[in-house]
Chains A and B, each alone.
Chain A
Amino acid sequence: MNNIIIAILVLGIMGGVFGLILAVASKIFEVKKDPREEAVLSHLAGANCGGCGFAGCAACAAAIVSGSAPANACAPAGAENAAEIAKIMGVAAGSSEKQVAFVRCNGGTNAKKRFEYRGVQDCISATKVAAGPLDCAFGCLGFGSCVTACKFGAMSIGPNGCAVVDPEKCTNCMACAAACPRKLIVSTPAAKKVHVACNNKDKGKIAMSVCASSCIGCGLCEKECKKDAIHVIDNLAVIDYAKCINCKMCTKVCPRDAILPKATAEEKEKYKAIKKAQAEKAKAAAEANSAPNA
């Protein structure tokens, strides 16, 4: 009995003494930390995802306070928190427009298959077997490596067998982009709704033969765009999001439905009719103008 009491006492006293020494030491050796650091930290996402390029949220907060990272360095925290951090730091938030991931493919069932892959249901594994089961060397394989990578439940395999992003849930951490062996996923401004959903850089004929909804680089969208916001680069239409105004003209002229949101057949007909009427009107006006002169 005595032994137990002595043991408890010795251990308790030792613990107490060490605790006291540490408490005193923490006062003596206190290093003044910038109080802003903790304030900034409270506005970060706190997931330690490393998306900002620093080793965890605390390191990111220290970098923001020291000025080596912008106030909007934390993408998952969103624009609101970036504004709060900017307030703490006394600087402008910078352009912290919300960004979301986008999958540049709408092939899925439209894409031709060379063979049926029955191996491990994972995109990277699938690409190892004869360069993947798709004819298209660029398209989404649909085995959902990105869905597994997403911690926020924002990725899913859409109805046509192609990965899609839920922009409401997406935090732009881009873990999906790292998981995609075809490098199909890019970060786009959330406010922009029109996207080219194809990444096929093959020449028109080949691109046409491998998939029913591929961009063939025909350039109709480029001609249609009033804002000079879409260009064919390397046989692929690319949208300049700084110029795009979401007018969706390009979606209506795309013969391959490769630009999202897809225009329905009715919309396309209607647009064609309007264009035709405009052209006739212009022609008539030109004739009317030229008549008096003749």
Chain B
Amino acid sequence: MSNITSLMSIALGAILVNNFIFSQFLGCCPFLGVSKKLDTAVGMGVAVTFVMGLASAITWIVNEYILVKFDLLYMQTVVFILVIAALVQFIEMFLQKSMPSLYTALGIYLPLITTNCAVLGVALLNIQSNFNFIESVVYGITGGLGFLLAIVLFASVRERNVFADCPKCFEGFPIALVTAGLMALSFMGFSGLSVWG
């Protein structure tokens, strides 16, 4: 039985303590690739949150009513990839028709998310942690929010980094990776919160 307190601790854990990027190192590809500008980073973060929330819901249902029933738990990874890919494709078509403005805002990021390991990660972690349906959805959405927080902070720092006086050999990607490492270290501070379990 899930009560508000346990949901809160799941949310806080997903956003800060076990942040998908800074402590679980999932979804690093879009995190580094789409963080040059703040507005594209926000677009990517929102898209990931959206897909992670939906994917947690659908994969939980698929797991509970198909995989468990047929005793096929070893096929989780391949089935979830199939589900997520189909889901993203479906969302893309749906948005293009009914919400063209959101579709153009998310743009290229939506199909990119198909192969984002944070989305597959959240689906597998939901099962591993024995979450029920509501907990899974909350974990998915808050995990996405954690991704949004991380990528927005990182993009803001990178935008300033461009103008900073930095040794030639560190310019561009090297200093971005150093920045990401330092931010991950600072997020370790949240592990003192110990809200998990």
Contacts and interface: CB of A to CB of B under 8 A. Distances in A.
A277 interface: no
Contacts of B78: 11
Interface in A1-42: 3, 6-7, 10-11, 14-15, 18-19, 21-22, 25-26, 28-31
Nearest to A9: B70
Interface residues of B, number: 19
Contact of B90 (A6, A10, A14, A21): A21
A11 B70 contact: no
Most buried by A among B70, B83, B86: B86
Contacts of A6: 70, 72
A14 to B, nearest CB: 6
Contacts of A31: 96-97, 100
Contacts of B82: 11, 14-15, 18
B93 A29 contact: yes
Contact of A21 (B86, B96, B98, B100): B86
Nearest to A55: B108
Interface residue SS majority, chain B: helix
Contacts of B127: none
A18 to B, nearest CB: 4
Nearest to A28: B97
A10 B93 CA distance: 26
B66 A25 contact: no
B86 A18 contact: yes
Contacts of B98: 29
B72 A25 contact: no
Most buried by B among A7, A15, A21, A26: A7
A284 B62 CA distance: 105
B55 to A, nearest CB: 14
Nearest to B85: A18
Given A18-B86, A22-B86, A11 B93 contact: no
B94 A25 contact: yes
B2 to A, nearest CB: 28
Contacts of A29: 93-94, 96-98
A10 B72 contact: yes
A7 B90 contact: no
A29 B97 CA distance: 5
Contacts of B72: 6-7, 10
B79 interface: yes
Most buried by A among B62, B79, B100: B79
Contacts of A28: 97
Closest 4 CB pairs of A and B: A29-B97, A18-B86, A29-B93, A25-B93
Interface of B: 62, 66, 70-72, 75, 78-79, 82-83, 86, 89-90, 93-94, 96-98, 100
Given A7-B70, A18-B86, 14 more contacts: A3-B71, A7-B72, A10-B66, A10-B72, A11-B79, A14-B83, A18-B83, A19-B86, A22-B90, A22-B93, A28-B97, A29-B96, A29-B97, A29-B98
17 contacts: A3-B71, A6-B72, A7-B70, A7-B72, A11-B75, A14-B79, A14-B83, A18-B83, A22-B86, A22-B89, A22-B93, A28-B97, A29-B93, A29-B97, A29-B98, A31-B96, A31-B97
